Amino acid sequence: MPKKITIAIDGHAACGKSTLAKALASALNYTFIDSGAMYRAVAYFCLQNHLITEDNVVNIEQLENHLDKIHLEIKASQLIFLNGQNITDAIRTPRVANIVSQVATIKSVRNKLVALQQAMGKSGGIVMDGRDIGTVVFPNAELKIFVTASTEVRTARRLAELQAKGEQIAQDDVKKNLLQRDQLDSTRAESPLKQASDAIVLDTTELSREEQLQWALEAVALLVAN
Ligand code: DC
């Protein structure tokens, strides 16, 4: 049986990381974990428990006092539960998107989620996507992919995703949110988004989903063969 490796996929918001990670995990029969969903779940918890001020600022002190009340479970690779409630769809709203990058700057939140992610991946056979997977969560991952795409393509993809779910949102607002999140994700003090020195870059701007998957499968085949 071929060796089961750890695959880390990082990159900016809406560049196709999760879609690729999901397809790759399915093709390899690996576990897929979308680590961004875990940060979104904590953001959802903040909304649910009124830990956000009127100016849309997360009350860090209160959130830290509540951290041990946050129990996350991921089932069948794709469903996320917060304290027993299935919040898989609820974490994809613009309200959550607007505060999640703030939540992801908080060190105590990151410590909690990174420990969970490392426990999920301890036996290998996992594809995890996020911002710090190749740099912090699995620095020894056998395969690290850093995904990029043009801002225009990322905006169009995220807009289509939201529209398909019935969200009414202007293209400019989607673009603004993506750029704001990129800025916060890349400049925060704690585990900022950056390409691991041993990551290989995949620009998805002009590639179909199938082409991206084939590219990644070739990278895996090369590694597993060596
Ligand atoms: O991938 P996403 O857009 O669902 O991620 C939501 C937010 O969580 C995003 O602002 C970056 C943050 N995030 C992070 O800081 N570290 C990760 N490993 C995954 C996501």
β-bridge partners, 128: 8, 33
* Arithmetic mean of pLDDT over the chain: 94
C-alpha closest to that of 179 among 37, 13, 17: 13
Collect all residues with Cβ–Cβ distance below 8 Å to 45 and sequence separation of at least 6.
51, 66, 70, 82
For range 11-33, the mean pLDDT: 95
Q: Is the CB of 132 under 6 A from ligand 1?
A: yes
Kindly report, residue by residue over 180-215, the tens digit of the pLDDT.
989 988 998 999 999 999 999 999 999 999 999 999
Residue 167 clears pLDDT 80, i.e. is over it:
yes
Cβ of 101 less than 6 Å from ligand 1: yes
Give me the CATH code for the 6-225 domain, please. Answer: 3.40.50.300
Q: Is 64 helix (H, G, I), strand (E, B) or coil?
A: helix
Does the beta carbon of 35 lie inside 6 Å of ligand 1?
Answer: yes
Of 20, 16, 18, 14, the residue nearest 220 (C-alpha): 20
User: For residue 117, which atom of ligand 1 is closest to its CA?
Assistant: 18
Strand partners, 73: 81
User: For 42-74, how does the pLDDT look when each residue is reduced to its tens digit (9 = 90+)?
Assistant: 999 999 999 999 888 999 999 999 999 999 999
Q: Does the predicted TM-score (pTM) go above 0.85? A: yes
| 10 CA → ligand 1 middle, Å | 10
Domain ranges of the chain: 6-225
Query: What is the three-class DSSP state of 175?
Result: helix
Q: Tokens 């939540």 label which residue?
A: 103
- H/E stretch holding 119 reads helix 107-120
Task: Please tell me the distance between residue 197's alpha carbon and the centre of ligand 1 in angstroms.
Answer: 20
For residue 13 and ligand 1, the question of a CB distance below 6 A is answered with yes
Q: Quick check: 1 pLDDT over 70?
A: no
